[in-house]
Amino acid sequence: MSLIQQLGEDYKNLPAILEEYERGLEEVEPHLLIEGKNLEAANAEQAGWQLYYESRRADLYSLVKFFEAKTAAVRGMLFKKMNTYNQSLSDRQKDKYIDNEEKYLTQIEIYLEIKEVYEKYEAVCDAFRSRGYALNNITKIRVASLESVII
């Protein structure tokens, strides 16, 4: 089920969703470590963990895009309202008023909280890509050293 569908009315489930995703970040470090693991096990688990975190990142990306659209909608609604009631202001002045509207600020705050968690998952996914390259390099080095051994 999409995270957007899980939000609930007035986004009441959003704090629980973000908390769950934050908890997932706490468990990342042991999965990223290569030291102390044998090469075969580290290579075997790489794809699974990378898929897991990439999938969670994709879920968060849909939330980021959803709240970008919601924020733009709130801004548009406030701009339209401003046009109706105060036509003497320039567009720039209207933008400044909108930037201080409570409804818009609340929407921006929600968006930024989601974006923060998304960017953390983006960093984790980058770390898993780097880990994959490191494992590949280590494997190649080990294979090359085995080839030079005289039997």
Give the number of domains in the chain.
Answer: 1
- Domain of 85 in residue numbering reads as 3-147
Output the average pLDDT for the chain: 89
Place of tokens 């688990």: 45
Q: Which residues contact 8 (CB under 8 A, 6 or more apart)?
A: 14
What percent of the chain is modeled with pLDDT above 90? 56
What percent of the chain is modeled with pLDDT above 70? 95
b/e 13-25 (16+ beta carbons within 10 angstroms → b): ebeebbeebeebe
Segment 8-59, tens digit of pLDDT = 888 899 999 999 999 999 999 999 988 888 888 889 999 999 999 999 999 9
Given a contact cutoff of 8 angstroms between Cβ atoms, the answer to whether 100 and 123 are in contact is no
